[in-house]
A = this chain, B = another copy of it.
């Protein structure tokens, strides 16, 4: 079966490498080869093993009836959305690692795929090489999914791990991540949570059956995490992790949020270190299941894309039943309505804090300044907690982090 790769960067290059290196294994499993007929990229790659497949013209792929499967590894929505839509309309299967595209236009593109009896698969868009989309959709299909959350970004998890294990300040850890190639020159999308937000949208849409778009999910990154808060976490058998979290509420709405969280060291999620990803799914029948592995990187991400391409080849005649419902602006609950416990660090008078906040759990740290007052609140609506905290006149908040 003939295939094409669009975008010959890290992931696209990895897909080429996996298809060539494991051609025998794939052919044995599939009963036929997957042959790369085109690689679309505007750049030249002199001497590359796939140099003779390179084209700068998308129409070559679109117009070639032999090409049945296309791996879109371009990233972004322009021109990826347009290209993907036109390929699906021609009945070609598309697999992608492009989380921005799936999070933004997943509903539309899955519908286009359905209308034209094609597959649109995106195992690589969440968790990189970690199997998560198919396990949720197929293996857990008999469950009413209650929540899905996890560490979905390796760059920020690497930084938080350095801060935790080596008491390294945020800026230094970020610089190290950049030096090692884990963070990009402009790390905004990772650090400020946009990448996690897109993945959270995809997981929530899949689990809860309605398209959830990035702008519906309150998103906070790790740029303000202070080494002092990491020390408090450590002293209290917790770790600070950036989570993409979504949960089905009793009122039928979804709580979806991207935020740093205090998590117990005893949890599976706290054992996810460095650039690894870890995802917890809670189903009413299966209880808690946990998936862990490399959430990014050339070959792990390519491994997921190639798994999807093989699945497309196996299901060439019959599409997979993937999909979810149309966007609903009221589906996600306002974050301020969320029931949250906060970790709060600030300076002021402990008695005034007690007077307003009541029976909170005060945390101590050896050598802390006398006027530093740190505590974990009870679970309450965020709106109400924020109002209470603001009403403590003498208390200046330095940090406020949600507790899982």
CA gap between A268 and B317 in the complex, in Å: 40
Least distance between A211 CB and chain B CB atoms (Å):
15
Q: Which of B300, B314, B318 contacts A286 (CB 8 A)?
A: B300
For A315, the chain B residues whose CB sits under 8 A away are: 318
- Taking a contact as CB atoms under 8 Å apart, the answer to whether A303 and B321 are in contact is no
Output the least CB separation between A35 and chain B (Å).
15
Chain A residues 118-174 with CB under 8 Å of chain B are 123, 129-131, 134-135, 138-144
Contact with B along A286-322 (1 / 0, CB 8 A): 1111111110000110111111011100110110110
Check: A284 CB closer than 8 A to any chain B CB: yes
A287 in contact with B129 (CB, 8 Å):
yes
Chain B residues within an 8 Å CB radius of A287? 129, 293-294, 299-300
Interface readout for A31-60 with B: 1 if CB under 8 Å, 0 if not? 100000000000000000000000000000
Query: Are A143 and B22 in touch, CB under 8 angstroms?
Result: yes
Question: A155 vs B362: C-alpha distance in the bound complex, in angstroms?
Answer: 40
Q: Which of A28, A143, A285, A321 has the most CB of B within 10 A?
A: A285
With known contacts A142-B310, A311-B138, A18–B285 Cβ distance under 8 A: yes
Shortest distance between the CB of A189 and any CB in chain B (Å): 24
Q: Least Cβ distance of A255 to chain B in Å?
A: 19
User: Chain B residues with Cβ under 8 A from A320's Cβ?
Assistant: 314
Let me know if A271 is at the binding interface, CB within 8 A: yes
Given contacts A134-B135, A290-B291, A321-B29, contact A285 B22 (CB under 8 A): yes
B131 pairs with A304, CB closer than 8 A: no
- A-side interface residues toward B, CB under 8 Å? 14, 18-19, 21-22, 25-26, 28-31, 123, 129-131, 134-135, 138-144, 209, 268, 271, 283-294, 299-300, 302-307, 309-311, 314-315, 317-318, 320-321
Other than the given A141-B306, A290-B292, 12 more pairs (CB < 8 A) read A21-B285, A29-B321, A138-B307, A138-B310, A138-B311, A139-B304, A271-B271, A285-B303, A286-B293, A290-B290, A290-B293, A292-B292
